[in-house]
């Protein structure tokens, strides 16, 4: 099977469902940003595997690797939903339990929050390479959410799948934030608190 098809040389690409649209459309921006997020998450996973966990944190590190692995697979599914003709989301994806993914993500956020010190100020996206990369994931996820919301609004879309995709993207960005904090705990490193410069 060849990697290149030449079908997109004219500036259009095919969606699941058969129709072709411009590559610069808000729909392509949506799933393209999800693809970018998936790649950034892959970098975070490899960095996470390479850290030397603080004492007693090895199991927590390994568990986070599994969580991020699952997120990568789910992001691939979200990208596939977004790559489907907008009129056929319910047809192809109604049985995908996005609501359960959102609930699981909320559970992880609550778990990590309980294990971390109270947040008493804004933190900078730094502290370690791993933590900074997870903040990169957070910001890409926020951009993906904006692109998805724009696509949905401009096309007057509605339905359970549409609603749950937006909810999952929103919750996932919160997860990347809390996981960036958790990463510093795994590495026994400190957060950098923002100080206003005047």
* pLDDT given at position 6: 47
* pLDDT given at position 2: 56
The 10s digit of each residue's pLDDT in 8-36 is 445 555 555 766 656 557 878 888 999 99
Q: Show me where the domains of the chain are located.
A: 22-84+125-187
Q: What is the mean pLDDT of residues 60-84?
A: 94
How far from 18 is each of 13, 48, 87, 126, CA to CA, in Å? 10, 39, 11, 44
* CATH number at 22-84+125-187: 1.20.1200.10
* pLDDT given at position 142: 97
- pLDDT top residue among 147 and 26: 147
Query: What b/e readout covers 20-44, taking b as 16+ CB neighbours within 10 angstroms?
Result: eeeeeebbbbbbbbbbbbbebbeeb
Provide, rounded to the nearest whole percent, the portion of the chain with pLDDT above 70: 88
Q: Which of 15-29, 142-156, 176-190 has the lowest mean pLDDT?
A: 15-29
- pLDDT top residue among 86 and 164: 164
Q: What is the mean pLDDT of residues 49-61?
A: 92
Cβ neighbours of residue 23 closer than 8 Å, sequence gap 6 or more: 8, 11, 12, 13
The mean predicted confidence, pLDDT, of the chain is 87
* pLDDT given at position 9: 44
């Amino acid at each position: 099977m060849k990697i290149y098809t030449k079908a997109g040389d004219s500036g259009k690409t095919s969606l699941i469902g058969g129709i072709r649209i411009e590559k610069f459309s808000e729909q392509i921006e949506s799933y393209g940003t999800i693809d970018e997020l998936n790649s950034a998450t892959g970098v975070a996973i490899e960095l996470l595997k390479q850290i030397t966990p603080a004492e007693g944190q090895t199991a927590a590190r390994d568990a986070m690797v599994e969580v991020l692995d699952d997120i990568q697979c789910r992001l691939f599914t979200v990208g596939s939903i977004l790559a489907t003709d907008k009129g056929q989301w319910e047809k192809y994806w109604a049985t995908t339990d996005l609501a359960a993914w959102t609930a699981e993500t909320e559970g992880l956020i609550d778990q990590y929050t309980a294990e971390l010190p109270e947040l008493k100020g804004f933190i900078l996206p730094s502290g370690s390479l791993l933590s900074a990369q997870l903040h990169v994931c957070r910001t890409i996820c926020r951009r993906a959410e904006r692109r998805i919301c724009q696509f949905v609004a401009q096309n007057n879309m509605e339905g359970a799948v549409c609603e749950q995709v937006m909810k999952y993207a929103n919750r996932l960005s919160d997860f990347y934030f809390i996981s960036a904090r958790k990463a510093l705990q795994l590495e026994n490193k400190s957060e950098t608190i923002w100080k206003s410069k005047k």
